Amino acid sequence: MSILRLMYRPAWPDSETALPWVLLGERGERLDGGDDEPAAWPRTGETELVLPAGRTVFLRAALPRASRERMQAAAGYALEERLANDVQANLYALGPADGGEHVVAVTEAFGVRRAVAMLRSLGRTPDRIVPEETLGSATEGWQLAAAADGGRIARQGEVGAWYLPAGAAGDALWARLQACDGAPGAAPSVAAAGWVSGRAASAYDFAHGELAAGRWWRTWGPALRGSGLVLALFAALQLALLLGEAGYLAWRKQQLTTEIKALAVPLAGSQAVPGNSALPMLRALDRLRAERGQPARLDGTALLARLGEVAGSTLALQQLNIEDGRVVLRAAQVPDETFARWRSQLARQGVALSRRAGEGGAQEWVLAGEP
């Protein structure tokens, strides 16, 4: 993933409209660069904001043992007396521990916050905000590197960095480092500026808290969006399948109903409507079974046929159940004389008929074949 590295200017974006930039490849190699307005910056996956050398001071502070977030929050109060200003006026980045103390990078907050707000509005929220002094390869011992403004940067491994302005002031500061901090007598060769190449591997990063870029969403957002799209597509296909199945079943039900009516009406006529005499329905059933080569009637069906023959069309059935050769049915109440006549006629055919009172004024009739 390519990186757009921007060099911060204190006057941007008020009186300055452009920023120096370099485009870095996956291995940190320089691909392009310039000094342009935001419209000319290339689109990349990550953005870094580099604070020019001299705008950051590196101090040592004894911090309580806690999480990194808590130690960064406590760093300002640990350095409050030495900085002699409001804790909220600075930004703090926690560095490596050295001799029981932590090295803390401190920079002025106002200008950086304003620049980050502008970059966020441009869709270029910095993933990292690092001091120029910490860029470049970190090696053991002392080293000098060129700064972007023509000065030099003196580094002692990863625990110390100093900005040396161009000219006599820088030479005087180097002499002081030789006298007080153990810098070598012979100044090492000056390496190329570290901000124009190489990946930022330093622990000093001001992009946390209010200036955090939301790296978690940037890292996992595309994958989550892709997964959500797949799940939504799967849900839509599942819903379409269910709706299609429901539609097919409804169509099939209607088709079967039509086929049943088409088969029943020619055989039984209009008398096949439920609630009319049972005899026409039984005769239609007999004809259907005979056409299929099956016995004309089942035991229970035969009993009901006998009742239909003696009752004719005067019996209106309400409920029918055939179990184990017995027929239990519910029908409207008939006079006792009529029932007695039907029972005697059925008895001559070997069918026993009995009745009992049911719910709602209806009667339950039981038909059984006599041995």
| 67 contacts: CB under 8 Å, gap ≥ 6 | none
The helix (run of H) or strand (run of E) holding residue 328 is strand 326-331
pLDDT at residue 129, rounded to an integer: 92
Tell me: the pLDDT tens digits for 22-70?
999 888 888 999 999 999 999 988 899 999 988 998 888 888 787 777 8
pTM > 0.85: yes or no: no
Mean pLDDT across the stretch 353-364? 75
Reduced to 3 DSSP states, what percent helix, strand and coil does the chain have, rounded to the nearest 5?
Answer: 40, 25, 30
The band of 9, judged by pLDDT with boundaries at 50, 70 and 90, is very high
pLDDT exceeds 80 at position 270: no
Q: 2-16, 269-283, 319-333, 353-367: lowest mean pLDDT where? A: 269-283
Question: What φ, ψ does residue 217 adopt, rounded to 5°?
Answer: -70, -35
CA distances to 143, 172, 173, 176, 185 from 179, rounded to whole Å, are 16, 11, 10, 5, 9
pLDDT exceeds 80 at position 179: no
d(CA 282, CA 306): 10
The Cβ of residue 170 has, within 10 Å, a number of other Cβ atoms equal to 18
pLDDT exceeds 70 at position 215: no
β-bridge mates for residue 33, sequence order: 22
Beta strand 142-146 pairing with 190-191: parallel
Domains parsed from the chain with CATH numbers: 3-137+194-213 (3.30.420.380), 229-369 (3.30.1360.100)
